[in-house]
Amino acid sequence: MNLSQPSRRMVLASAAATAAVTFASPALAQGAARVVVIGGGYAGATCARFLQREGLEVTLIEPSASYISCPFSNAVIAGLRDMAQQSFTYEAIERQGVRIARQAAIRIDRAARNVTLADGSVLAYDRLVLAPGIDMRFDALPGYDMAASERLPHAWKAGPQTLLLRAQLEAMEDGGTVIISAPANPFRCPPGPYERASLIAHYLKTKKPRSKLLILDTKDAFSKQGLFTAAWKELYGDMVEWVGLSGGGKVVEVKADEKIFVTEFGEHRADVGNVIPPQRAGRIAIESGIADQTGWCPIDPVTFEARAQAGIHVIGDAAIAGGMPKSAFAANAQAKACAQAVALMLRGAQAPEPKLINTCYSLVAPDYGISVAGVYAPAKGLLTDIAGAGGVSPANASRAVRAAEARFADGWYKTITSEVFG
Amino acid sequence: MRQRKTAVFALTIGGALTALLPLSGAQAQSLRDVSAAPAGASACLGCHGARDTSLPALSPLSAADIETAMEQFRSGAREATLMTRIAKGFTPEESKAIAAWLSVAK
Ligand SMILES: Cc1cc2nc3c(=O)[nH]c(=O)nc-3n(C[C@H](O)[C@H](O)[C@H](O)COP(=O)(O)OP(=O)(O)OC[C@H]3O[C@@H](n4cnc5c(N)ncnc54)[C@H](O)[C@@H]3O)c2cc1C
């Protein structure tokens, strides 16, 4: 039974009973409007669910049978967590009444308003939501291509890469050197490389205490820097070393066979190397011309509609969301605001000015959490930080507060994954 | 299969009837009609939706409870690890509308 049927009928019934409502969309006047969502991650899966609740006919295009979550995957790398806790199916979403097309979208015809799937079938839409996440740029860092990522994993999409990095750490001798290279902004999960460094340091301190961890960074500043740096000193002593751009931290080439990171100042050899390369919006956003020359998609901050094409909305990591970071929290919040805008626009109503929230927790150790938060509203064409709100955890908080934030991180993960996949 | 309530409710924004939809059943508790959500409200559910986690679900609270808590977080009268930072991004009027929406559909 298709559960979307009753609610669709109800919308139409109530519409008929309400003379005051006028529908600008001919599609909805004839039957439920069709919305196609590309990508079943934190952004797309959330959006599909909330759109379906609005009585729309929603198809979610996603090739994978299960979703592997990046949030908390750094804990998997550090041996603190099982991969099973990162995996979610689309069953509940399908049960709710969202149609799932278990394939990749390979082409968007912007004029005809349809999407071609890998098997050649074509899905027509009244509005399209594009949420393909990121792709690694395997053309951006000399020496770092897909093959190199088998020696120097990125582990920036959770899955086999996560387990590869974990296995390499487990195989490393005590006294070895782990190197992480971090990219320039913007990239997925700004505090992610430093949370990863922290949890790897926790693993090394526990299991291989004579080892070193070196972070080579293309930036001179990073998310929650003061908190991370202080916590590294407090928890891990001299084990963690961070080298920023002006200190010679920018990696300009890697030699995967020898696990060598080349900077402008010299070479560093790793026993385990993790390259977090530059990224761009998922391929379909590039190929359909929705992304600009930066590789990301400019959007209207009220409707999330692509600047390049009316009727196509972009959410999650693929979008240029102004001050909002590329996070799962942000993707989920954008998805709900976007579902609201799409539902209202399909009824001929105007999308209201949204307000968005982001919160990113990072674990510096299993019982030591820190956070950054922000509140955002449209201003000058972008989602912009509201001054005076947000910010990071206090520098002088007690260990009890850090422990509470670690527990809240766990609560956030349970809550959001139940909203998106439960 | 989950239970589907047949109740229908109407919400008004700026005088125009914008939504007439059935309420959800059990399962993911935070899945609800967003078309009439006031600015900022749906984002709260990212942390405060599910029960039995380390973060409080808001649905057992009344609108007045939520509004008061937001006011106290904003003024600093009540301490929190994070909500003091979030509350400063919302005006009293916005908080009131958000509280009303979040307390509906328990
Ligand atoms: C190590 C790490 C830790 C992180 N920790 C946190 C955290 O603690 N908190 C937080 O908020 N965020 C965290 N993040 C960030 C978070 O993972 C991303 O911001 C989030 O996944 C973005 O969601 P999305 O839906 O935009 O993209 P994704 O989650 O990547 O989903 C995109 C989906 O689209 C699908 N897709 C792509 N192309 C197509 C196509 N052509 N056709 C059909 N489907 C397609 C993909 O298969 C994928 O399922 C972390 C990231 C990393 C790497």
Count of structural domains, chain B: 1
C-alpha distances (whole Å) from A105 to each of A115, A284, A292, A307, A400 are 7, 7, 20, 21, 47
Binned at pLDDT 50, 70 and 90, residue B27 comes out as: very low
Per mean pLDDT, which range of A18-27, B15-24, B59-68 is the poorest?
A: B15-24
Count of structural domains, chain A: 2
- State how beta strands A272-275 and A177-182 pair: parallel
Euclidean distance between CA atoms A33 and A26, whole angstroms: 9
B80 touches chain A (CB under 8 A): no
Residue at a domain's end among A237, A256, A275:
A275
The answer to the question of residue B18 being in a domain is no
pLDDT for position B56: 86
Return the exposure string of A52-84: e unless at least 16 CB atoms fall within 10 Å of the residue's CB, then b.
Answer: bbbbbbbbbbbeeeebbbbbbbbbbbbbbbebe
Residue at a domain's end among A275, A307, A334:
A275
DSSP A240-280: EEEE-GGGT--EEEEETTTTEEEETTEEEE-SEEEE---EE
Q: Supply the DSSP symbol for A349.
A: P
The answer to the question of residue A408 being in a domain is yes
Return the exposure string of A172-197: e unless at least 16 CB atoms fall within 10 Å of the residue's CB, then b.
Answer: beeebbbbbbbbeebbbbbbbbbbbb
The answer to the question of residue B7 being in a domain is no
Say if residue B4's pLDDT is above 90.
no
Average pLDDT over chain B reads: 75
Euclidean distance between CA atoms A208 and A242, whole angstroms: 19
Other residues' Cβ atoms within 10 Å of the Cβ of residue A334:
31
The tokens for A21 are 């409502």
Contact A389/B89, CB-based, under 8 Å?
Answer: yes
Euclidean distance between CA atoms A419 and A62, whole angstroms: 18
The tokens for B9 are 């409710």
- Chain B neighbors of A20, CB-CB under 8 A: 16-17
**Which H or E element spans position A81?**
none
The answer to the question of residue A142 being in a domain is no
Say if residue B2's pLDDT is above 60.
no
Q: What 3-state class would DSSP assign to A358?
A: strand
pLDDT for position A18: 38
A263 shares a domain with A172: yes
Comparing alpha-carbon positions, the chain A residue that sits nearest to B34 is A340
Binned at pLDDT 50, 70 and 90, residue B57 comes out as: confident
422 residues of chain A, pLDDT tens digit each? 343 343 433 444 343 333 334 444 444 445 789 999 999 999 999 999 999 999 999 999 999 999 999 999 999 999 999 999 999 999 999 999 999 999 999 999 999 999 999 999 999 999 999 999 999 999 999 999 999 999 999 999 999 999 999 999 999 999 999 999 999 999 999 999 999 999 999 999 999 999 999 999 999 999 999 999 999 999 999 999 999 999 999 999 999 999 999 999 999 999 999 999 999 999 999 999 999 999 999 999 999 999 999 999 999 999 999 999 999 999 999 999 999 999 999 999 999 999 999 999 999 999 999 999 999 999 999 999 999 999 999 999 999 999 999 999 999 999 999 999 99
**Which H or E element spans position A21?**
none
A172 shares a domain with A100: no
Q: How many residues does chain B have?
A: 106
Q: What CATH number is attached to the domain comprising B31? A: 1.10.760.10
Contact A390/B89, CB-based, under 8 Å?
Answer: yes
A283 shares a domain with A271: no
Contact B82/A377, CB-based, under 8 Å?
Answer: no
Binned at pLDDT 50, 70 and 90, residue B17 comes out as: very low
Return the exposure string of A145-159: e unless at least 16 CB atoms fall within 10 Å of the residue's CB, then b.
Answer: eeebbebbbbbbbbb
A412 shares a domain with A292: yes
CB A359 within 8 A of CB B86: yes
Best mutation target among A340, A346, A399, A420 (most B Cβ atoms within 10 Å) is A340
Please enumerate in sequence order all residues whose Cβ is within 8 A of that of B52, keeping only pairs 6 or more positions apart, or say none: none
Q: What CATH number is attached to the domain comprising A204? A: 3.50.50.60
Q: Cβ(A274) to ligand 1 under 6 A? A: no
A287 shares a domain with A266: no
The answer to the question of residue A143 being in a domain is no
The answer to the question of residue A141 being in a domain is no
Q: Cβ(A40) to ligand 1 under 6 A? A: yes
- Atom 2 (ligand 1) nearest CA: A70
Contact A333/B42, CB-based, under 8 Å?
Answer: yes
What ipTM was predicted for this assembly?
Answer: 0.89
β partners of residue A107 = A116
CB A249 within 8 A of CB A218: yes
Q: Which residue has the tokens 């594009």?
A: A130
The tokens for A184 are 């320039």
The tokens for A411 are 């609560």
pLDDT for position B26: 33
Q: Map B52-98 to HEC letters.
A: CCCCCCCCCCCHHHHHHHHHHHHHCCCCCCCHHHHHCCCCHHHHHHH
What is the per-residue pLDDT across B69-82, written as a single tens digit (0 to 9) for each? 999 999 999 999 99
* Residue A338 burial by Cβ neighbours in a 10 Å radius (0-12, 13-18, 19+): buried
Most informative mutation of A59, A69, A70 for ligand 1 (most atoms within 8 A of CB): A70
Closest CA to A282 of A350, A249, A331, A212: A331
Cα atoms found within 13 Å of the Cα of residue B9, Cβ hemisphere only: 12
Q: Cβ(A328) to ligand 1 under 6 A? A: yes
Residue at a domain's end among A275, A297, A322:
A275
Other residues' Cβ atoms within 10 Å of the Cβ of residue A300:
17
Euclidean distance between CA atoms A317 and A330, whole angstroms: 9
The answer to the question of residue A1 being in a domain is no
B24 touches chain A (CB under 8 A): yes
The answer to the question of residue A244 being in a domain is yes
Binned at pLDDT 50, 70 and 90, residue B105 comes out as: low
The answer to the question of residue A367 being in a domain is yes
The beta-carbon neighbor of B34 closest among A11, A50, A374 is: A50
Most informative mutation of A317, A320, A332, A363 for ligand 1 (most atoms within 8 A of CB): A317
- Chain A neighbors of B85, CB-CB under 8 A: 373, 389-391
* Enclosing domain of residue A407: 6-19+30-136+279-421
- State how beta strands A134-136 and A127-130 pair: unpaired
The answer to the question of residue B8 being in a domain is no
C-alpha distances (whole Å) from A137 to each of A41, A149, A151, A182, A274 are 20, 12, 17, 13, 15
Q: How far is CA B4 from the centre of its chain?
A: 21
pLDDT for position B25: 33
Q: Supply the DSSP symbol for A336.
A: H
Q: Cβ(A327) to ligand 1 under 6 A? A: yes
CB A321 within 8 A of CB A358: no
Contact B28/A54, CB-based, under 8 Å?
Answer: no
* Enclosing domain of residue B52: 24-103
